[in-house]
Structure 1
Amino acid sequence: MACATCDTGLSSRNPHVMSGLVDIQSGTLDVAENHAPAVQIILKEWLAWLDRVAALSVFNTYPGKE
């Protein structure tokens, strides 16, 4: 499924790999915080530093512009 305006991919289905599931591109949701992920997939390609992201400094805007 794609956006009718810009053709950005919104979701996909792959009955051979994820039968019965729809992969929704969370970055395309208008209000993503209302739709928490249910699963994580393709973790064999996990970047080693991703498990440390929650410990990083957080900025609501660009650093120094708050």
Structure 2
Amino acid sequence: MKVQTHLQVGATLDQAMQGAQSALTNVASAVGSAAQGLAQQAQGVLHNPSVQETIGTLMWWPFGPPQV
């Protein structure tokens, strides 16, 4: 009887570990796709000409824009 109980506990632990592992995998893939979406949005923003102009201005801010 004791052996059977140990086997049941072992099987339950295995199932729990597998469940936890698949949950972590799901979370990781969700985080990964969210990060990918954010990266694509950021790329779109950075390629926007007015944003590039603003970034250029901010980079020169301590000295003012270059005098041509």
TM-score, normalised on structure 1?
Answer: 0.22
Is the helix fraction higher in 1 or 2?
A: 2
